[in-house]
Structure 1
């Protein structure tokens, strides 16, 4: 199966431990530059072998961490800002394909870089051109066919690149920012589900939109478009993932929490992590969550950005079948 794309089987009534375990970075929230520290971590990726990849933005590198280690290996970028082929500048998205190539949103260089296995030399797949603009990328994913999806927040759009093409196809947004259902305002995360529905964390509009294949009009599936901390609201949502039930998990950035929305939009969300109402470095607290991913077991990893760490929240499976959700 493709790397990082698992057939999840999460029960509808599963819960997660409220205390996270630090898997990368310093538990006390301090910035660092060694291989066991992070500085401004952003997007993460987890492969089929539970290997974690971290966009260590302000250290201009991608770190790879095996599941039994909190010390990373630098697999892309050399730790100094630059635009040479072996350098990155503010990387904000990472994914690994089934061939072991590492694909990086090299955001401040306005290019998408591909690193072959065991190579530190990046190959440019796409960049900012007059005929195919590419602004500040906030997130990057690939699908089973190696299409690349990036969120371009400068141009308020999500763009798809098919293999061997450097011309982006706009899937959502585009043009000036706005709050219409065909508009986005400083979008961050994107997610493509098994049915090819696209989800976008429309951060500046404090909502999550879902687009059916081929549609440029989204439906609001989380948040109500106004910033707030109620369970019907989001405050600069940064990232989303969707499970096998269609439930949506949101890194609710400025609320310092992760919330889960079911397919019943009217019911609002449920806080599942960072639910203390305060920020801090305790195991049950977050400060500016930026990204989140499932591993193949259903555990959730969260980039706790302003705490300079990646937290793992272990899934707690029910002991008996879940009540019917119908």
Structure 2
């Protein structure tokens, strides 16, 4: 188990998964529950009709067990169990496959800093033992809730991207500390991050409207999606990207929050991206729309889950594959 701390919101990794917070709170990276070596066929597309799997389809928020309020990060395990950071309800919700009612697994409706409370949780991941790990944003800490326990254990409380090896309290800084800016070695309002199988670190650099990639050991990042300092909605641009996933083909999937869409970049970074879902050009509550998507995850079949934050719901978009010359996606 490897842990990390950062200034971000959430992510997933090929061989590791990252939970994050915002502004001054951050990340944990560790081996998740057996998935996340994701190969998605290059021919895959996704049905444009979203299915609401948590929250209310009509975009209303609430605090009952069938509602959520400003969800941020999500996690889907091997068994299609969905976990949600229900930020403004200060709790973590768990949904079994096809369930419409969630189960509270951490926190409650009251914000606080005790071991049983959370305050604006934003990042989440679940390890191979079923422990839920949460970026407890407004408490500036990373909390671990062992499976079946509602009592949190504090793992980290830093404001950098720092990697922790098991049983070691000395961290290694992964991301640059060159201050806020738009340079290749700088970030501005970073959110989600992702570590691929080669150790490359990807960061959703929201304030610069780009995704930056640092190869393992590098001190300077490379822009792999978006245009630095140029927010927009054409195929080469992003507007406040919040979360990213990189598959085993090197394809980059981005929650383009300000444009209310999900984009995909191939390894030909300069060619621009392709809209995957939420491609109507406007935000909204319709089944083919999103409103400020904050996180994205794939399940073991390649179906796409979106934390549709401003609509207070989690949307699932089913993968579509041609009947010939296409191999089903799977985690290996």
Bucket of the pairwise TM-score, normalised by the shorter protein: 0.7 to 0.9
Deviation of 1:271 after TM superposition, in Å, equals 0.6
Within a 5 Å distance, the mapping from 1:1-326 to structure 2 comes to: 2-3=32-33, 5-127=35-157, 134-135=158-159, 157-225=160-228, 226-321=230-325
* Structure 1 partner of 2:5: none
Question: 1:114 touches 1:125 (CA, 8 Å); kept in 2?
Answer: yes
For residues 221-268 of structure 1, give each alpha carbon's deviation from its aligned partner in whole angstroms, at most 9, with x where no partner exists.
Answer: 100111111110000000001112111010000001001000011210
Deviation of 1:166 after TM superposition, in Å, equals 4.4
- Residues matched between the structures, number: 296
For residues 167-223 of structure 1, give each alpha carbon's deviation from its aligned partner in whole angstroms, at most 9, with x where no partner exists.
Answer: 443211324201111111110000111222111100000000111111121111100
- Aligned-residue CA RMSD in angstroms? 1.5
Q: Secondary structure at the match of 1:204?
A: helix
How far, CA to CA, are the matches of 1:4 and 1:275 in structure 2? Answer: 32
Question: 1:85 touches 1:123 (CA, 8 Å); kept in 2?
Answer: yes
Question: 1:125 touches 1:164 (CA, 8 Å); kept in 2?
Answer: no
* Structure 2 partner of 1:151: none
Q: Secondary structure at the match of 2:255?
A: strand
How far, CA to CA, are the matches of 1:188 and 1:44 in structure 2? Answer: 14
Question: Hey, which bits of structure 1, 4+ residues long, moved more than 6 A?
Answer: none
How far, CA to CA, are the matches of 2:258 and 2:67 in structure 1? Answer: 23
CA gap of 1:161–1:291, structure 2 versus 1, over 3 A, is same
Which structure's relative contact order is higher, taking Cα pairs within 8 Å and 6+ residues apart?
2
How far, CA to CA, are the matches of 1:5 and 1:187 in structure 2? Answer: 25
Stretches of structure 2 lacking an aligned partner (at least 5 in a row): 1-30, 328-332
Q: What is the TM-score of this pair, normalised by structure 2?
A: 0.86
Q: Secondary structure at the match of 1:108?
A: helix
Q: Secondary structure at the match of 2:310?
A: helix
Q: What is the TM-score of this pair, normalised by structure 1?
A: 0.88
Deviation of 1:32 after TM superposition, in Å, equals 0.6
Question: 1:199 touches 1:209 (CA, 8 Å); kept in 2?
Answer: yes
Stretches of structure 1 lacking an aligned partner (at least 5 in a row): 128-133, 136-156
